[in-house]
Amino acid sequence: MSNVATMKPVRPALPEWVRRLPEYLMIWVPLLLSAAHLVSFSLWTIWISFTPSTLVPVSGWVGLRNYSSVLASRNWQIAFDNLLLFGSAFVLLSAATGLALAILLDQRIRGENVLRSIFLYPLAVSFVVTGTVWSWLLNPGLGIQKLVHDLGWTSFKFDWLIDRDMAIWTIVIAAIWQSSGFAMALFLAGLRSVDTDIIKAAQIDGAGPVRIYRRIILPSLWPITITVVVIQLQFAISTFDLVRALTNGGPGIATQLPALVVYDLMFQRSLLGRGAAAAVLMLLILLAVLLPYAAWRYVQRRRAAHA
């Protein structure tokens, strides 16, 4: 707030904190309210996860019984394995696709704005719509497979949606389609912020474009890469609507994800206690991603301050 000092004070007698009151109100009231919301409901959920609640929340103590029953259930085990596979595949592939798109767009091509909007557009579509559209495209009897068959290539097979081993990859495909544009936007901003003097100097030294990317531009992108990975990971962990619309956890229970299990336990099976336990487990998974990120940010800032 350095420009505050240069402004001409209307009433110089007003103490500093009164003048800044609107700022404080604007920042702290919403922040405290949302923090209170978040924290109080998280605590409430943690409490419920230790109670025998079923249809409605009740008090009582069952220790870790809800947790052990969730962890022992096939639904949760499948959901957890799927999360590991989906999370890593989705994050890596969407970052790679986003980076590739960003590099291609960075070649000062004509119509960049139009292309950028096209690639970003899927982000504006709700996940339910994405899921539904892809569920039609990927259905072997309606979508891509049928189209190729009708074109004459009748031995073509693309039935991942109904193949329980491959179905999880259909979610990866739809999720990448939806969100690689977002990664692209972040990477593009990163590419544009690389100091052009360094690039010019490298060009004068005779470095080719591939070398410039490999040695200068990509290394300077890694803070953005970490941001992209963390944002996409927390999205992957909380994925719900996409799967619900695309496969609804099927075929059978092959594409369960933790958020689906939580919803299913709480609202379809009316087992609030177990649902809360599953939700707390999800929170723990999220923390496993976010805490190292926060630590890394902290170290970065310390280093910047010392430099």
Partner 1 sequence: MPITTTRRRLLAGSAAALALPAFARAQGAVKPRLTAISQWSAGSDGAAITALGKKFEEKGGVWQHSPVPGFTTEMMNKLRAQIMAGDPPACSQLKGPEIAAWSKIAPTVDLDAVVAAAGYEKVVAPDLAKLHKPAGKWIALPLQIYSTNMLFLSKRAMDKAKADKIPVTWADFNDLAEKMKAGGVASPIANGGTRPDDGQKFEAALAGISPAAYRAAIMNLDKKALEGPEIKAAFAQVRKIADWMDPNVGAQHFSTNLKRFVDGDMGMMIMGGWAQGVLRNAGFKFEDFTIAPGPSDNGKPVFLLNADAFIFWQRKEADLQAGQTLMAQLVMDPAIQTMYSQITGSIPVRTDVDLSGEGWSEGQRTTSAALKSAIASNQALLSMAHNMAQENGMTAAMIDVITEYVKNKTIKPEQAATRLADAVEGAR
Q: What does the binding site for partner 1 look like in residue numbers (CB under 8 A)?
A: 54-56, 69, 72-75, 139-142, 159, 161-162, 164, 247-248, 250-254, 264, 267-271
Query: Which is closer to partner 1, CB of 145 or CB of 178?
Result: 145
Identify which of 105, 67, 76 has the alpha carbon closest to the alpha carbon of residue 188.
105
CB of residue 240 vs partner 1: minimum separation in angstroms?
15
CB of residue 223 vs partner 1: minimum separation in angstroms?
42
CB of residue 84 vs partner 1: minimum separation in angstroms?
20
Rounded to 5°, angle at Cα 27 from 23 and 31: 165
Query: Which is closer to partner 1, CB of 175 or CB of 264?
Result: 264
CB of residue 67 vs partner 1: minimum separation in angstroms?
14
Asked if 238 and 278 touch (Cβ cutoff 8 Å), the reply is no
Identify which of 192, 181, 186 has the alpha carbon closest to the alpha carbon of residue 225.
186
Q: Which two tokens stand for residue 186?
A: 């972040």
CB of residue 63 vs partner 1: minimum separation in angstroms?
17
* CA–CA gap between residue 239 and residue 282 (Å, rounded): 11
Question: What is the H or E stretch that residue 27 is in?
Answer: helix 21-48
Query: Which is closer to partner 1, CB of 213 or CB of 240?
Result: 240
CB of residue 249 vs partner 1: minimum separation in angstroms?
8
Give the 3-state secondary structure of residue 284.
helix
- Phi/psi of residue 11, each to 5°? -120, 100
Query: Which is closer to partner 1, CB of 87 or CB of 273?
Result: 273
* CA–CA gap between residue 297 and residue 22 (Å, rounded): 30
Q: Which stretches of 246-305 are assigned E, i.e. beta strand?
A: none
The residue with tokens 């009433």 is 11
Query: Which is closer to partner 1, CB of 30 or CB of 252?
Result: 252
Residue 289: exposure state from Cβ atoms within 10 A (0-12, 13-18, ≥19): middle
- Phi/psi of residue 246, each to 5°? -80, -55
Instruction: For the beta carbon of residue 63, count every other beta carbon within 10 angstroms.
Output: 8
Identify which of 260, 287, 272 has the alpha carbon closest to the alpha carbon of residue 50.
272
CB of residue 159 vs partner 1: minimum separation in angstroms?
7
Query: Which is closer to partner 1, CB of 41 or CB of 298?
Result: 41
CB of residue 271 vs partner 1: minimum separation in angstroms?
5
Query: Which is closer to partner 1, CB of 70 or CB of 188?
Result: 70
Query: Which is closer to partner 1, CB of 146 or CB of 297?
Result: 146
